[in-house]
Amino acid sequence: MQKIDGHTRLCGLIGNPVEHTMSPVIHNTLAAMEGRNLVYVPFHVGTGQARKAVEGAYALNVLGLNVTVPYKEEVIAYLKETDAMAKQIGAVNTLVRTQGGYKGYNTDMMGLYRAMCAEGIKLEGEEVIILGAGGAARAVAFLCAWKKAARIYLLNRTLEKAKRIAEEVNGMAGRGAAAGNGAGKVEPMPLEDYREIPSDRKYLAIQATSVGLYPKTKEAPIEDKEFYQKIHTGFDLIYRPSQTRFMSLVRGQGGRAFHGLKMLLYQGIIAYELWNGTEIPQEDALEVYETMKTEMGIEE
């Protein structure tokens, strides 16, 4: 544990709830590894208190904040500046102290990308199915489009939300021209219409709903084995539990499956790098990952 003195810098997490977060493990481990005089603390911020929390943190000279549910969209209004990519996604999860206020970033998207690269999963030219159209799915859809996936099926229980994301992603500057014959487009669909996805090819499926999240670990957004026969790789954003029902269903049909803990690791690493102007070597990132797994009591 870092000795706390008059030079200690403070970073933290605001959200509600924050009690089960793994982020302190990421940042306090990194600070200890680097010998940096920094501590990271979660702050439970009650309803209606987000503005005060952001302004108060700035007044207290807090170096940086992570932002989680339900404040990722709301806090944008309280920032001095928002990074272009975060603005497009419409959500921030990292606030970086600048002259006169915080600048907002979205490190979830790049965190997912780094996690996928680390697992050897590529997006370019890939046929992708995204399940969900909430905040996380939105970042995933932008990432897939940005990394030039060949086709993106966006399935959600509430079709309207999938349509809204599709409109925004497909409408990105220059995208219409780049997409040409319709390849690379986001196609919104109701979740129950998954059978309409062509079965003459295999897909990368990204599970971005909250179905299967602890404690409802026996649930998956789609149960039908036929759906999972179409999947060569399944990436679940959920990491609690580390083996979700979605992952079991993918593996049951011969696909590879991953949980979301590495995404969490890398969104944290990127935030830490932004706050401290440093670059974390890959072997240090993997050491932090081992600490996270130990903390969660998992091996895989």
- The residues annotated as belonging to the active site are 72
The minimum distance between CB 14 and ligand NDP, in angstroms, equals 15
Angle between helices 107-118 and 261-276 (to 10 degrees): 120
Sole residue written with tokens 């021209």: 177
Q: Which residue is nearest to ligand NDP (CB)?
A: 134
Binding mask 219-248 for ligand NDP (x = CB under 6 A): --x---------------xxx---------
Name the phi and psi angles at 279, rounded to 5: -130, 125
**Any idea what DSSP says for residue 251?**
H
Is residue 211 within the footprint of ligand NDP (CB under 6 A)?
A: yes
Tell the burial category of 173 from Cβ atoms under 10 Å away from its Cβ (0-12, 13-18, 19+): exposed
Dihedral in degrees, nearest 10, Cα atoms 66, 71, 73, 75: -70
Distances (CA, A) of 65 to 23, 55, 243, 265, 294: 11, 11, 29, 16, 25
Taking the CB of residue 96, how many other CB atoms lie within 10 A of it?
21
Is residue 135 within the footprint of ligand NDP (CB under 6 A)?
A: yes
User: What is the C-alpha to C-alpha distance for residues 83 and 237, in angstroms, rounded to an integer?
Assistant: 23
Nearer Cβ to ligand NDP (38/133): 133
Is residue 16 within the footprint of ligand NDP (CB under 6 A)?
A: no
Give the binding range for ligand NDP (CB under 6 A) out of 15-23, 99-107, 167-175, 256-264. Answer: 256-264
Nearer Cβ to ligand NDP (33/213): 213
Among 13, 31, 50, 137, binds ligand NDP (CB under 6 A): 137
What is the per-residue DSSP string for 116-128? HHHTT---TT-EE
Taking the CB of residue 199, how many other CB atoms lie within 10 A of it?
12
Nearer Cβ to ligand NDP (144/238): 238
- Residues forming a β-bridge with 155: 131, 189
Is residue 9 within the footprint of ligand NDP (CB under 6 A)?
A: no
Give the binding range for ligand NDP (CB under 6 A) out of 34-42, 153-161, 192-200, 289-297. Answer: 153-161
Omega prior to 215 cis, within 30 of 0: yes
The length of the chain is 300
Nearer Cβ to ligand NDP (58/131): 131
Nearer Cβ to ligand NDP (45/58): 45
Give the footprint of ligand NDP on residues 30-59 (CB under 6 A).
none
The minimum distance between CB 6 and ligand NDP, in angstroms, equals 34
Nearer Cβ to ligand NDP (58/86): 86
User: What is the C-alpha to C-alpha distance for residues 173 and 150, in angstroms, rounded to an integer?
Assistant: 18
Name the phi and psi angles at 257, rounded to 5: -140, 140
Among 50, 89, 128, 136, binds ligand NDP (CB under 6 A): 136
Among 213, 248, 273, 296, binds ligand NDP (CB under 6 A): 213
Residue numbers at the binding site for ligand NDP (CB under 6 A): 69, 108, 132-137, 156-158, 161, 191, 208-211, 213, 221, 237-239, 260, 263-264, 267
